[in-house]
Amino acid sequence: MRSTVSFMAAKNPPVRATVLDAITVVIAVRNGMPYVIEAVRSALGQGDAVDRVVVVDDGSEDETHAAVSALAEPRVRLLTNPGRGVSRARNAGAACARTRWLLFLDADDRLAEGAAARLLAAASRDPSAVAIYGRHCRIDAAGRPLGHPFVAGMRRMVLDRGARPSGNILDTLVRGNFIINGGVVIVARDAFERLGGFAPELSLCEDWHLWCRLATLGPIHYLPEWVMDYRVHAVSVMMRNQRRFDDFKPALDAIYGDPGIRARLSPADLASARSEAVTDLQSYCAVQAYRNGARRLGLAMAWDAARRHPAKTPSLILRVGAAMAGL
């Protein structure tokens, strides 16, 4: 059953002597300059709500390692995990945690002031929760909100203020990833470890795969508050290459083939969910194509997505319209 209740509110990792009701922030990074230090500082700025920040260098060839080392901050742990991929890097970072909660922040994003405390406050309302997720704001390379202020305000009013799925959300989540990335989510460490963490074989939508598996274990609650800035820039993972739908097929196969998910949804629900998810990913590819300057391709892809799933047309129009407005 779906619910729409919102909550307001290294190789040799150290032995974990206690479980703190706080957050370990894990930042997997490869060539993270010039943004990674800002990401780390945004996590350190959360105060006691963040126990430590674990930066996992996945084979950087720029100044990332030296820059993080130079921080000389006792709450920062720097690991190396060269060239093993984002999922393994995050898993290595999580293995250093001694807290109850994990947060996976991308190296080019930043946490909003007070985000960790707000997420923890929401989590305290339901001890059975396996994750809490919040909202994000899109920013440019310089850290400024994207788009004209009026258009950005309208986007927040239309897209961000509506109710988001909360509670037992598996049936909704398998239909499309509405949790932007790990930087808006705190994940219960015991649930993460029970699932074995991120699937090492996935490098795209590995987070969506994890959210869906988490949703089989317990409730995931929505906090309708801004917790992260999502940076859009030319060399980000999603912007530097034009993504095609086939790039995401391994994640789709992993989600709909997962035994835990299949045990909780009927074959008919799984089929309809996959159909909706395919359209959602096609829409995403269309919007990214438009933002990357391939406007004709983006519009053609959007038209194809709308034709395949007419019920998704209104949300698709909003997404393409936001891209046209520079959001």
| Residue 102 contacts residue 191 (beta carbons within 8 Å) | no
What's the pLDDT at 6? 41
Pairing relationship of beta strands 110-111 and 220-231 according to DSSP bridges: antiparallel
- pLDDT band, residue 9 (cuts 50/70/90): very low
Mean of pLDDT values over 20-30: 96
d(CA 110, CA 107): 8
Among 298, 244, 324, 232, smallest CA distance to 35 is for: 232
Which residue, chain included where needed, has tokens 């391709």? 297
Which residue, chain included where needed, has tokens 């994990």? 102
The alpha-carbon radius of gyration of the chain (Å, integer) is 19
Is the pLDDT at 5 greater than 90, yes or no?
no
Q: Mean pLDDT lowest for which of 12-16, 27-31, 84-88? A: 12-16
What's the pLDDT at 288? 74
d(CA 245, CA 223): 30
d(CA 205, CA 118): 26
Is the pLDDT at 18 greater than 50, yes or no?
yes
Residues across the chain: 327
What's the pLDDT at 308? 67
Q: What are the pLDDT digits (tens) for 174-225? A: 999 999 899 999 999 999 999 999 999 998 999 999 999 999 999 999 999 9
| Residue 170, C-beta contacts closer than 8 angstroms, at least 6 positions apart | 212, 215, 216, 261, 264, 265
Q: What are the pLDDT digits (tens) for 234-287? A: 655 544 456 677 889 999 999 999 999 999 999 999 999 999 898 888 777 777
Which pair of structure tokens corresponds to residue 249? 């097929």
What's the pLDDT at 282? 79
The rounded mean pLDDT for the chain is: 84
- pLDDT band, residue 66 (cuts 50/70/90): very high
